[in-house]
Structure formats: structure tokens, C-alpha cells
Structure 1
Amino acid sequence: MASTGGRLKDKGSRLQVVAAGATAGLISRFVVAPLDVVKIRLQLQTHPLSKSTASADLGGAPLYKGTLSTIRHILQHEGITGLWKGNVPAELMYVCYSAVQFATYRSTTLLLQRIPGQEGQLPPAVESFVAGAAGGAAATASTYPLDLLRTRFAAQGNERVYPSLRRAVVDIYRDEGLTGYFRGLGPGLGQIIPYMGTFFAAYETLRIPLGKLEMPFGTGDAAAGVVASVTAKTVTFPLDLVRKRIQVQGPTREKYVFKNIPEYTGAISALRTILAREGFKGLYRGLTVSLLKAAPASAMTMWTYEQALRFYIGLGGTDSAAEVQGV
């Protein structure tokens, strides 16, 4: 296996970067799928946290009290497959998302390095923030319909809202039009730009220093990915919750596990309603499991991406290792 040396983020051909990103997304998504389902269920739970469970108006929906409680409930009432609901659109999303994200990240990095008068002069953290934000925004916008489908399938209980992925695509277009596939895109972009910018800036800053330490995988890639992910996720989590709530709006809003989700007219409306009914803590429902998911997912994504890219560069020979031409 060829060693690329230096910063791996601007190495390899476009095809190698896309393949490595897709590989990383495919593997990491399958591993963390159950935690993703749990996170979505907790985010969609709307009873006020300040009230006792006895007085909470659940509208016949289950009451999830935490990560383990939610996992047990899903296993008991929906079986093991319940923890992988929405995994097909999610796998498609993660593969496409990772491929677009890393390809855009690489291209933006190379563009920034060629700014007239600024060649190689931008601080690494600034370069990584801009490239990471661009990659996140491009990947989010291009894969958003799959993200919405993933959320809606994960929100289904034993009552099937959509019997199949094909039926979901057809029904959403028939009942909600083309814009139905992009519900919540605004807060999605509002969250992902600072999230990915912060993530990549922290990752590139920490990867080399942590690489000098004795790590289980031999590099600091995984550890840097964990720290970067936890930091970025905590800062931007409320917008992620709002996105999930808006994604299940529409004519099927009262057919999911939680049938009492309020009707929101937009991101600002959702934020105001959540603060009024659920308090400030309501904006952070599911944060714990989100961090539990984000840490191993990001660590696995970054580590797998680095290893896959080295592997694909090795397959291409030494010429590919030096190929950084063309954006």
C-alpha cells in the first residue's frame, strides 16, 4: 500500500476521492443505524420535559426516557429490524453524501490553495473550515430527499405510513409536490455549514498532533474525528432537531409513532413552539444518543476514508499518489 505522505485531504484523483468517500459512508452508516433511529425517535417526542410522565399528553404514543429505554421498546414492539428502519434510503444517502462531501472538500481545498496572492498562505484551520462548509452544504442539498425519506421511515411504528421506498417517493410527490422532498432544507443547510466547517477545522487541526500519540489504529485520524464531531454536533444540534420535526410535516404528520407533533410553518415557528411548549431542554432532545452516534460514526468515517483513499491510490500506482491536478 502506497504511502501518500503530507495532508491526505488534497491527494488522489477525483475518482479515488469519490470512491473512498462512498466506501466510508456505506460502512459507517450501517454500523450506527440503530442509534440513528433512536435519535430520530427522541427528537420527535414532544411532551414537555418539565411535566411528569403521568400528566404528559402523549396522544397514545410511546414514552421514551432515554437511549436504552428506546432501544428496549423498539426491540419489544417492532423487533430487531425496527432498529434499521429507513436504512435503505439512509445507505443511499450516506454513500452519495460522503462521495459529494469529500469530492467538494478536495476541490474547494485546491481552489483555495490557488487564490492569486494567497497560494498556501491561508491558515490551515480557515482553509479546512471553508472547504468543510462547502462540502457539507453541497452534500446536504444534493441528497436531501433521501434524508427526508430516512427520517419518515425511522419515524414509522408498526403502522406503516409508506409500505415501500417506491411508494413513499410516489406518495410524497402526489400529495406534497416536488417541494415536499425538501421540507426542512433551510435549517438543514443552516446546521450543516457551521457543523461541517467546525468539524473539518477541528479535525485537520487535531489529526497531526494526535497522530504522535499511541492510538489503537496507529494514527490520530479516529481520535481527531471523535473530538471534532462532538464539538460540532453540540453547537449545531437545535437546528438538526428542528429539521427532523419539519421533515415529518405534511399530510402524514399524525400517522407516525408520535401523532401529536405540532404543525410548524417554518424553522422560526418550530423554534418558538419548542421553546414555549418544551423549554430550552426541548431543543436538545436526543443529544446524548446523537453524540454516542456521532463519535463512532465520524471516527469510522474519517478512518475508513483515509484507509480507503490510501488503498485506491495504491491501486492506481505512484503516479496517482501525486495527482492533484484539476479541480
Structure 2
Amino acid sequence: MSENKVEQLRDEGSRMQVVAAGAIAGLVSRFCIAPLDVVKIRLQLQSHSLSDPLSYARHAHKGPVYKGTFLTLRTILREEGLTGLWKGNVPAEGMYLAYGGIQFLAYRSATQAIDELWPNHKLPGTAVSFVAGAVAGTAATTATYPLDLLRTRFAAQGNDRVYKSLLSSIRDIAKVEGPTGFFRGLGAGIGQIVPYMGLFFALYESLKPALANVSIPMDSLGSSDAIAGVLASMMSKTAVFPLDTVRKRLQVQGPTRAKYVHKNIPVYETGVIRTMASIVAKEGVRSLYRGLTVGLFKAAPASAITMWTYERAIHSLQSFKVLE
């Protein structure tokens, strides 16, 4: 496949078309994977060991005990109903809507800026993808982080609601915790997203041409794009998952910490490294990967849907000459 084809994702479409296509992709993807996201967050916030009978007995009265993806899913359905699987979906939809647009716009702008800064030195496509992906991830994560924090806190709520509505949560956090309360765990978020997005885009654009000539059923639906997105996301997600767990634990710190469905969430010192060290010391290294399975289950369809929808949306906008 030619170099021009490999660079198609970052070169095609006007600025507004890229923003619109990215936003559409994020919105559709989020709605589809919302239940898996809630399950993952619940597992990540569970701080006791399931392999320790004493720990199990000691903490059972402090919230539900989840054992695996499907049992967690069933427990939430039984105790909180179908709507429990979409808790936090409103701020999450807003986050994904903005995140998708900012991410693809920043990615496209970064690659173009790199080409303009070094016009006489053609950098390897993988290197450009890594740098541009890291820049895109950092910009999108920082801009949408307050919505990410709200998504986590709503998903962590049980039947006893901590926040009555999205507006009341914003008002309460601003009043009690101040502006910095909306950015708890941002360091872990950026520390995670920089290598994740860099690896994701680099792997995606490396895998996409390699899979293009593979005979796949339903290729007319763009299956090679979807499979490239799945593989790239799963490999990247596994590499940075401990930072995602740290981010979730930090996001629920503050005065409401003991009011969520897991009422025994520990207090952590400010800082990513200290939090990670504390989790490892008290719960073991495996606890950093609690929820990884469902995280990978979520990452696969999320990335496939995101990239498939983005490719189709940008092509449709171009075909109908919308937002040129």
C-alpha cells in the first residue's frame, strides 16, 4: 500500500469535517459501551482481595462484592436495574462528544504541523503517528477531564445517590472541593493517555495497511479498519491499564469518598506514584489490573465503532460537501 494511503486518516477532510466526524464517532461509541464502562469502574474501585476470605468477610458489609465481568453485570442489573448500567452516561456522552472532536482535530493539526516544521526531513510515519497521537490525547484529556471525573463518580453511585443531578454535582464539587476538585487524578490521566494514544495511532496506522489486503467477511463494511482499531486498542490498553486504575481511585477522593457503592475506598496521598505504591503495598500488583478483562472487552468494540464510524462519517461529509 502506498505512503499516501497510510496517511489518509490524518490528511482527509476539512477542519470542521474532522471535528464533526470525530464527535459523531465518540457519541455513538460511548452509548454502545456504557454498560461495560460501569462494570469496569466498579471493579477498579473494589479495594479488597477476593482471594482472601478474611478480607472478603471484613468488607462484605461495606458494599457489594463483585467477582468478574458477567457476575458484576448481573449484580448491577439485579440490585439497581437496567438503568444502573448507564449511570454517568450523560456526562460521559458529553465527554466523548467533545473528546472525539478534539482528539481527531488535534491529531490532524499535529501531523500537519510536524510536516511544516520539517519539510525537508520526512519522518517515519509511525513516529509522526506516535507524537501526534500523544498530543491529541493530552489535549482531549485535559479539556474534557471534569466530565470524565463526573462520569466516574456517577458510575460509582449505588442506590443511595451521592448526587441528585448533573447540575447539583457540579455545584456541590465547586462549592466543597473548589475548581481543583474537577481535576483530581489528572496527572494519572495524562500519564496514561500520552503513551496510550501514541501507541494506539502508531499501531492503528501500521496495522491498517497490513490488514487491508486480508480477505475478511463483510469487508464492504470496513472490517479491516475495525480489526486494526481493535488490535491497536487492546495492546495499548493493557500497557497503560495500571494508570487507569490509579486515575479512577483518585477521582472519587474527597468528602464523598465513603458514600459510593464501595464504602471502603482508601484515602490516597496526592500524587500518582504514591497512590500506585499504596495500592500495590496493600492489595498487591494484581489489583492494578482489576477490571482489565472488561476493559479490553470495552476497548475492542469502542475502538472498532469509533474508527469505523469516523471513517464513514468523514467520507459522508465529504460526499455531501458538508462543512467544507
TM-score range for the pair, normalised by the shorter chain length: over 0.9
Cα distance in structure 2, aligned partners of 1:116 and 1:61: 56
Cα distance in structure 1, aligned partners of 2:71 and 2:43: 11
- Runs of 5+ unmatched residues, structure 2: none
Q: Which residue of structure 2 aligns with residue 29 of structure 1?
A: 30
Matches within 5 A, 1:99-110: 99-110=101-112
% identical aligned pairs: 58
8 Å CA contact retained: 2:99, 2:141: yes
* Pairing partner for 2:232 from 228, 233, 236: 228
Residue type at the aligned position of 1:65: K
Q: Which residue of structure 1 aligns with residue 297 of structure 2?
A: 292
Q: Which residue of structure 2 aligns with residue 66 of structure 1?
A: 68
Q: Which residue of structure 2 aligns with residue 7 of structure 1?
A: 8
Cα distance in structure 2, aligned partners of 1:116 and 1:194: 23
For residue 280 of structure 1, report the CA deviation from its aligned partner.
0.7
Q: Which residue of structure 2 aligns with residue 311 of structure 1?
A: 316
For residue 49 of structure 1, report the CA deviation from its aligned partner.
4.2
Q: Which residue of structure 2 aligns with residue 263 of structure 1?
A: 267
Q: Which residue of structure 2 aligns with residue 238 of structure 1?
A: 242
Tell me the secondary structure at the aligned position of residue 253 of structure 2: coil
Q: Which residue of structure 2 aligns with residue 323 of structure 1?
A: none
Cα distance in structure 1, aligned partners of 2:21 and 2:215: 25
Q: Which residue of structure 1 aligns with residue 208 of structure 2?
A: 207
Cα distance in structure 2, aligned partners of 1:270 and 1:74: 28
Q: Call closer, same or farther: CA 1:54–1:102 in 2, change over 3 Å.
A: closer
TM-score for the superposition, normalised by structure 1: 0.93
Q: CA RMSD in A?
A: 1.6
8 Å CA contact retained: 1:59, 1:260: no
Cα distance in structure 1, aligned partners of 2:219 and 2:302: 15
Are positions 1:280 and 2:300 aligned together?
A: no
* Pairing partner for 1:88 from 68, 87, 90: 90
For residue 217 of structure 1, report the CA deviation from its aligned partner.
4.0
Cα distance in structure 2, aligned partners of 1:315 and 1:146: 33
Tell me the secondary structure at the aligned position of residue 258 of structure 2: helix
For residue 270 of structure 1, report the CA deviation from its aligned partner.
1.3
Matches within 5 A, 1:47-58: 47-52=48-53, 54-58=56-60
Tell me the secondary structure at the aligned position of residue 93 of structure 1: helix
Tell me the secondary structure at the aligned position of residue 114 of structure 1: helix
Tell me the secondary structure at the aligned position of residue 299 of structure 1: helix
For residue 184 of structure 1, report the CA deviation from its aligned partner.
0.3
Cα distance in structure 2, aligned partners of 1:41 and 1:93: 19
Residue type at the aligned position of 2:82: I
Matches within 5 A, 1:175-194: 175-194=176-195
- Runs of 5+ unmatched residues, structure 1: 321-327
Tell me the secondary structure at the aligned position of residue 226 of structure 2: helix
Residue type at the aligned position of 2:233: S
Tell me the secondary structure at the aligned position of residue 73 of structure 1: helix
Cα distance in structure 2, aligned partners of 1:82 and 1:176: 26
Q: In proportion to residue count, which structure has more helix?
A: 2
Residue type at the aligned position of 1:209: A
For residue 11 of structure 1, report the CA deviation from its aligned partner.
1.0
Q: Which residue of structure 1 aligns with residue 147 of structure 2?
A: 146
TM-score for the superposition, normalised by structure 2: 0.94
Cα distance in structure 2, aligned partners of 1:118 and 1:98: 32
Q: How many residues align?
A: 315
For residue 117 of structure 1, report the CA deviation from its aligned partner.
4.5
Residue type at the aligned position of 2:253: Q
Post-superposition, which runs of at least 4 consecutive aligned residues in structure 1 deviate over 4 A?
Answer: none
8 Å CA contact retained: 1:49, 1:279: no
Residue type at the aligned position of 1:239: L
Structure 1 stretch 264-273 or stretch 152-161: which is displaced more? 264-273
